[in-house]
Amino acid sequence: MIKTEKQSDVVIVGAGAAGLTAALRLAEAGRRVTVLSEAELSGICASAWAQGGIAAAVAMGDSAAAHGRDTLKAAAGTADRNVVRALTRDAPDYIKILERYGVAFKRDSKSGGFALNHEACHSRRRVLRAEAGDGFGKELMRALTAAVAQEKRICFVPYQSAAALVREFTPSLGALSGVMTHDRNENIFRLYPAAAVILATGGIGALYSHTTNPAFARGSGIALAARAGAVLADMEFVQFHPTALALERDPAPLATEALRGDGALLVTQDGRRFMPSYHPRAELAPRDIVSRAVFAELSTGNRVFLDCRNLDTHEFPALREACLAAGLDPQNTPVPVHPAAHYHMGGVAADVNGRSSVHGLWVCGEVASTGLHGANRLASNSLMEAVVTAGRAAADIHTHLHTAKTPQLLHSPDYCIKIAQNYQPQDSKDMITARARTELREVMTRLVGVARHENGLKQAVAAFRKIEALPALASSLTDAALVARLIATAALQRRESRGGHFRADYPQESPVWKHRSFITLKQADYTAPAKEKIYA
């Protein structure tokens, strides 16, 4: 059964920081918004897991220009300067907006101003934290969900798995005209017509067996956009957080960057501090360098620990909770860590307002690749980008709807029926999908992880193609395998090392590759000769 719902001005897929910020800004502008989510409004999302904070130049003596310079330096030469300039300029204004939505930022007890943290590659203290400590994402989502619940123009619909983006049915296929979902509660399909669609579906970390991301972070939005013909960007750039807690938990709890900013040290099992031999800034080096250093130490048989004994760990309750649950007290004992997939700099190519290459489709948050992060994200710029691009996308859509004709949902019945027939819901008893998921995550970690090599990447692409072709596989995992293949394909084509992409067979940066990369699903499906680039 396929049921067509009432048309909205905008349909948003995803209910994290980006999705809810966009919904609130659109509603404030008088637009009718439908937010589709896999879970309840107060349910889990990746944004709620963010620990460190949000970066913005709000301190006396700081500036958006300085924030921009730090962002560009961390980005390893491939960031879009215009995007960096615009988003760092807007960031302080969005701190005020978040305060209006009820976010409780930590204040300095003496000055009354914001209490600011110093994190890796920032030239000064610039990271705002929550009053609750290292649980900034949780506080942000508390405030945003409360604000959304009070807004009558926002219709929130839980338990919806997006199955496809729907276009106007014309000879040339027109603008997007809505989203088709599978309702997990009622086991029916729904069409949500809208004049504009925003994807705010988060990242890809759960494609890896070592990750700090929740289990549903498998790149679903990238798959939706890719199948709709969208251009993707920088897919090879995956940031591995160097200090995920090695406590045999999946996902791995995160030891926030702020710990090293406050003086925590990385040591081996014999107490040897090793980061000074890898980079002049030691523990405050860019994340890609710290992750590779930790990976290198682990590869030689060492164990790696984060020594927080010189800090007051009570300032970091999330760290203490995770460690104490495992029988470790971080105040008295160094805690074991390893790199884990944490953030994807790549995604659906978008401009500074979140516009994709598909007419009628905007993207914001981690699913988007605006060019802010380049090859390597600056610490705590992720939530900044999420809320600022969400706000900019909302403003752009509001303007667009004043002049654009309302798309007609003249969808082909055969097309929608085919989607419904081919869609395979997730089943907890589905052993084929369970085994395939385990294999996919193991291959991603081993062959498309911190260190990559041509032979391994080719093996990975072949493995993901086989998974995609499995019969009766849950559609969510077919999409995950597609996204994994796109990442591996992009990594195979970039024959250098830069930022979050390290090739053991091409360990140096190359000036030939000092640019962003772009790819479409059609290009990835084309088996090109080894010497041929497939970037648009």
- Give the DSSP letter of residue 308: -
The enclosing H or E element of 35 equals strand 33-36
Residue ranges with strand state E in 200-276: 232-233, 238-245, 265-268
Q: Longest C-alpha distance within the chain, in Å?
A: 68
Catalytic residue (one of 287, 292, 452, 498): 287
- Give the DSSP letter of residue 437: H
CA 56 to chain centre: 19
Closest CA to 146 of 97, 106, 103: 103
Residue labelled with tokens 């293949």: 485
Alpha-carbon separation of residue 410 from 7, 188, 195 (angstroms): 13, 20, 13
CA–CA separation, 146 and 187 (whole Å): 29
Residue labelled with tokens 């027939």: 421
The phi-psi region of residue 154 (left if phi > 0; otherwise alpha if psi is between -120 and 50; otherwise beta) is beta
CA–CA separation, 342 and 450 (whole Å): 11
Residue labelled with tokens 């997006």: 162
Asked if residue 144 lies in contact with residue 20, where contact means CB atoms within 8 angstroms, the answer is: yes
The tokens describing 365, both together, are 């948050």
Asked if residue 348 lies in contact with residue 366, where contact means CB atoms within 8 angstroms, the answer is: no
Cβ atoms within 10 Å of 163's Cβ, excluding its own: 23
Whether 287 sits among the annotated catalytic residues: the reply is yes
Q: Whats the size of the chain, residue-wise?
A: 536
> What is the three-class DSSP state of 83?
helix
Closest CA to 290 of 255, 331, 335, 330: 255
Residue labelled with tokens 């709620």: 48
Residues with catalytic annotation? 287
